[in-house]
Structure 1
């Protein structure tokens, strides 16, 4: 039995600690993380080990040598270009002539590998994934197995709505050498993205072994610190190579401690550390080799690497410090701050909470540092939410913020790409648009200013002008704290993918921008898109029927853009538009119907000639009826009632059930110039065409739409419990008909219920449909109660 230790990672999310240190070399209780991996393999009789290298390979080679000092044999394989997890293993193919285990050099675990290997043998598996349960599975591959342990479903880095379990892939695999035949040479290939999904598709013997014990993927600064605290608490079954002089107080050799020093466990103190008079070392502090803490200083939850010197009367609380750092006297270091190698912090300075200082920086005396140097700090949550990037105008969304954001966006685009920009008429939105333009152009990206507009206009402009993407800025309603939304769109006019969002977020957090005086983008003004959009829209209408009908509409909309935008269109169609609040009354105004247009231009609400609002399901039915002559394929979310699917099929429209996200629905008809469910003006015009053709008022047409009994409930659930809840719902639903397109949809004799974890908030959405309103309510309440119990 052989092993492959994956040790090529850069550890981007651990910066600045990993700026000059490979991720497997970050110390855990004064020993490199990878040393624990080597010892685990040796403990289970695996001594012939390949090590894959890429980032700073010599640091790892020099530290571990041939492995003889650890009682193992190490053979190194270096990548000149990134090969992915599977490609890295393929690079070791000459070495892997028998069964082998793949394990990461930057995880901490005490799993029983012998049991995992025995399971693999018993199942005669081609590959066995070692699995565990975690609270938040978003950054891992979620796995579902049948009773025998065979993997039946696998999804890498899901959104919350896709999380069907809290059981995840640890990145540890037992493989037969035949696995290598499925990996191309010298090509970037990933086990979880390509190899294992292929095995699943081809029904190869792919199994999952549910391990028990401790496992931590050292992927972030917070997790890195917690792993050390877990070691101190004895939660990991590993040997701590230090003397325990008192309960959970560990000292290595030649430690010099003044008699007045106060130690409060659990703490770990490395070799030849000197603690001077009056020093207080509080719980969960780790001090690396050859470090000095001067008199009167106080450490609490402090993690210090080797050769760090702390001055007198300094307070370090919850801070992580790299190697060879000089801290002056009377310095205060805040919670969550991280200081890179070889920095010098002047006396009486204050480093505020969460600040990150990259290596080789010097902070002057009495300085107060409130922002990170040189790179930005990782946000407490993702920049992108369900509807784009959202924040309070000129408080959270500022010109400075969008300038950095645009530079991060440009980093992932080829030089000379064309990006379209539009904004609502609000002055601040227009101001931010200019900040975006300037930043994109300075990053070598051409910008196309579409002027005042909305999202459907931006989509139309991107497609018609051949742009690589676009951004729309929208100020929300006054009641919503003047929030600004930035929506990013790709070259097909769709909301960008989560992968694209992650790339922008990573570039933003790391400030990895590219700017050059020799490669500047150009600014283009293009204000003809509205006219082109209108012409294209009119060409798809039953113009004569609408003109003959002479519709009278009451329209509630944004007052500065829409009336100007719609006037030429209504003039062509012979439509009389009255702009005002729906509260003024459709009947009182003698209108044929009332229309409320959302500010983003994507959605609308409809009211009959009697002023009765259409439900979500009724509006969707009318939109399907109206678009049927022109659209023969449509995406309906899994949350939509079955009657709408039947209606579409009667109209000979192909229905594809999708996730509830707008992108998923829009992808189904990506080639269409207008989307009836995400273009409010187009949708309204098609509905007018439909009403004109049928020569009936909206209210009477609703009578022919079958009734749908739906219920929607919101159930609170902490983030840490979401994965567990999804797993319990699946376990409790065994034997029932399930749909896992988005969330978990459970069918029974009374209808169906959809359990959907929210991506942004700590709650679940429960959506149900029943034969009666009472049945739907009972179904939703039943699952809402279960979700609360599972927590």
Structure 2
């Protein structure tokens, strides 16, 4: 049997370590990662191996040669242009004449490949995916199988709401040669995104083998550290090519250690390493070959590649150093610091926690380095939450951060693209907007500044000026500490897709920004967007009808911008608006209704003429009624009550059940410039028109709305347990009526329950609907208890 090792990975999330090193050549315990893959194949009797190359191919060829040194035969296939996972295997077609195995050269595993091949044979499979279970499945392909092992569903890099299992694709496959006939030549084709979904659609025999054993996809610096710790702890069955001189202390040949050196296992020390007097090497440290550690230096949980030089009395804690790095005396490298190849750190310099230094940089003596060189500080890999990027003002979201964020975004756009910018009236939000503007223009992107505004107007401007996207910044002051929210929209004015969120996150993570003096972007200031928005909004409704009714409203909103923005609109509609706090009392002002407008302009709360606040379900029902005749189709989340769907049908509006994300709901009707569920001003005006038609006060109209019995609660659930909890929940309710649009929706005779892992916090959301309020509450409590029990097993 033959195998294909996919070895074309760049390892962008491992930068700066992989700037000059392809990911399969990243060392694990002083050996390239791919070497362990070759040993695994050989252990299972597979010695005839094809290797696909793309990024820095000569580094792999020069080390492994023809494979004879490792007891195997290697044949290389290089891609002139990226062909994707499936395309790269198709590129080896001339080599593959029988059943074959595909495996990644940049993962570490001891999974039993022979048992996987037996499983494939027993089931008569065309393709078998080797699966494993992981704690956090977000960065992998989640796979669901039936009792026989046949794959029933496949989700590539799901959101938490799509995590129906903790069983994921390892990127290892057993294929019959016929698989190659389904892959087009000389075209970029991906197994997970294209080929496997096509196999599912065609009902071809696609199986999943859930394997026991260790598997690590070395996709991040944290995982890179942890993988080597696992190797030192003996958690993975691999050959460690060194002497174990004491429990979990491994030394290669010709190591020189002074008698005063202190070693705390587990540690790994490569060939020709010299540890001078008084050196202390703490647990989980790995020292590459030919490194010199000078007297009095302390190392803890640090990983050094070959030819490192560490001066006297330096201190490294949790740092990673690339090849040929020189660290001067008395240097302090903080937790998580990463130093690229051939860097020089001057004496007494301090490199703070988490700082990354790209290759060939020099840090002067006594320097205090608190930001990465040269691209900026490391940011969290997951930037986006449920509705944009959110963080503490001037702590997590700073001008420096948004400058880098905008540069990363610009890197993904074509030069000369136009981006609409806006922010709320808060001075800090405006300051951030200018930082974004400067960064975009310096990256060759044209910006259209629409000034102080709200998110719906930003979305409108994107379409009005044919922009490629938009960014809106506003302050969320609902919590004790002020937070900033940054929203990105695409060329249709819709929130960017999760795919684009990942691209932006990866660009920040990789810190690959491009700026040039040859092409700078232009700044355009547009002052008439709000007037155009208001004029088109008025064309959507019967303004004369509202004028005849003559409403008096109490409006609670931010005081600096919204009153001025609303004044022309209310003037055109003959609406008298009083601005004040709803808590002062609706009755005291004698108004027809009261509105609390959220600062972002997307959501609002409504109060009747008697002062009663509408529930979210009542408000949604009223919004649906108010858009009667304006649209043929609307997206409602799976969490919306069944009564909303029935109400829409009576109005001859088609309902499409969607995920809870704003984009999912809005893209059902992408051509609409105003969305009733995400444009508070438009929705309010439509409700005024509806009240005018019905000739009833809001309190009477509310009493006629359908009754919905809902309950919502949250259950604490660590991130590492979410995938397992969802799998157990799915297994427990197998055979019942389920809906898997977003999370797991379970139906029974008393109603339904939606179990939805939170995307931003360590808990699971539970939303239920019952025939009575009591049954809704009982359902939510029952499922909350089960989720807690799953975690205690």
**CA distance, structure 2, for counterparts of residue 478 and residue 736 of structure 1:** 40
TM-score by length of 2: 0.98
**CA distance, structure 2, for counterparts of residue 219 and residue 508 of structure 1:** 15
**CA distance, structure 2, for counterparts of residue 478 and residue 745 of structure 1:** 30
Residue of structure 2 in register with 1:189 after alignment = 189
**CA distance, structure 1, for counterparts of residue 473 and residue 354 of structure 2:** 30
Alignment of 1:528-539 (within 5 A): 528-539=528-539
Deviation string 1:104-155 (CA, Å, 9 cap, x unpaired) is 0010000000000010111111111100011110100011100000111110
Check if 1:240 corresponds to 2:227: no
Check if 1:510 corresponds to 2:526: no
Shift of 1:623: 0.6
**CA distance, structure 1, for counterparts of residue 548 and residue 23 of structure 2:** 72
**CA distance, structure 1, for counterparts of residue 362 and residue 535 of structure 2:** 62
Alignment of 1:289-304 (within 5 A): 289-304=289-304
Residue of structure 1 in register with 2:710 after alignment = 710
Paired residue secondary structure (1:687): helix
Check if 1:272 corresponds to 2:272: yes
TM-score by length of 1: 0.98
- Cα distance, 1:413–1:456 mapped onto 2, change above 3 Å: same
Superposition misfits of 4+ residues, deviation over 4 angstroms? none
Residue of structure 2 in register with 1:629 after alignment = 629
Residue of structure 1 in register with 2:688 after alignment = 688
Deviation string 1:139-174 (CA, Å, 9 cap, x unpaired) is 000111000001111101111111111110011111
Residue of structure 2 in register with 1:77 after alignment = 77
Residue of structure 1 in register with 2:698 after alignment = 698
Shift of 1:309: 2.0
Residue of structure 2 in register with 1:556 after alignment = 556
Shift of 1:526: 1.6
Paired residue secondary structure (2:324): coil
Check if 1:746 corresponds to 2:724: no
**CA distance, structure 2, for counterparts of residue 17 and residue 418 of structure 1:** 34
Paired residue secondary structure (2:108): strand
Aligned pairs, number: 791
**CA distance, structure 1, for counterparts of residue 637 and residue 233 of structure 2:** 47
Shift of 1:381: 4.8
**CA distance, structure 2, for counterparts of residue 775 and residue 268 of structure 1:** 60
Alignment of 1:31-110 (within 5 A): 31-110=31-110
Shift of 1:387: 2.1
Residue of structure 2 in register with 1:260 after alignment = 260
Greater shift after overlay, 375-384 or 577-586? Answer: 375-384
CA contact (8 A) 1:376 1:509 kept: no
- Cα distance, 1:589–1:93 mapped onto 2, change above 3 Å: same
CA contact (8 A) 1:769 1:776 kept: yes
Residue of structure 1 in register with 2:167 after alignment = 167
- Cα distance, 1:344–1:101 mapped onto 2, change above 3 Å: same
CA contact (8 A) 1:377 1:510 kept: no
CA contact (8 A) 1:375 1:509 kept: no
Alignment of 1:650-729 (within 5 A): 650-729=650-729
Residue of structure 1 in register with 2:469 after alignment = 469
Paired residue secondary structure (1:433): helix
**CA distance, structure 2, for counterparts of residue 269 and residue 329 of structure 1:** 21
CA contact (8 A) 1:586 1:593 kept: yes
**CA distance, structure 1, for counterparts of residue 569 and residue 653 of structure 2:** 28
CA contact (8 A) 1:631 1:653 kept: yes
**CA distance, structure 1, for counterparts of residue 326 and residue 180 of structure 2:** 49
CA contact (8 A) 2:318 2:335 kept: yes
Deviation string 1:743-779 (CA, Å, 9 cap, x unpaired) is 1111111110000111011111100011111111110
Alignment of 1:245-644 (within 5 A): 245-477=245-477, 480-644=480-644
Shift of 1:478: 6.7
CA contact (8 A) 2:3 2:49 kept: yes
Deviation string 1:414-455 (CA, Å, 9 cap, x unpaired) is 111111111222233223322222222222111112122111
CA contact (8 A) 1:716 1:762 kept: yes
CA contact (8 A) 2:355 2:378 kept: no
**CA distance, structure 2, for counterparts of residue 471 and residue 339 of structure 1:** 34
CA contact (8 A) 1:417 1:446 kept: yes
CA contact (8 A) 1:643 1:706 kept: yes
Shift of 1:244: 1.3
- Cα distance, 1:516–1:255 mapped onto 2, change above 3 Å: closer
Greater shift after overlay, 1-10 or 249-258? Answer: 249-258
Shift of 1:662: 0.5
Deviation string 1:168-223 (CA, Å, 9 cap, x unpaired) is 00111111111111111111111111111111111111110000000001111111
Shift of 1:272: 1.8
CA contact (8 A) 2:379 2:508 kept: no
Residue of structure 2 in register with 1:775 after alignment = 775
Check if 1:785 corresponds to 2:785: yes
Residue of structure 2 in register with 1:17 after alignment = 17
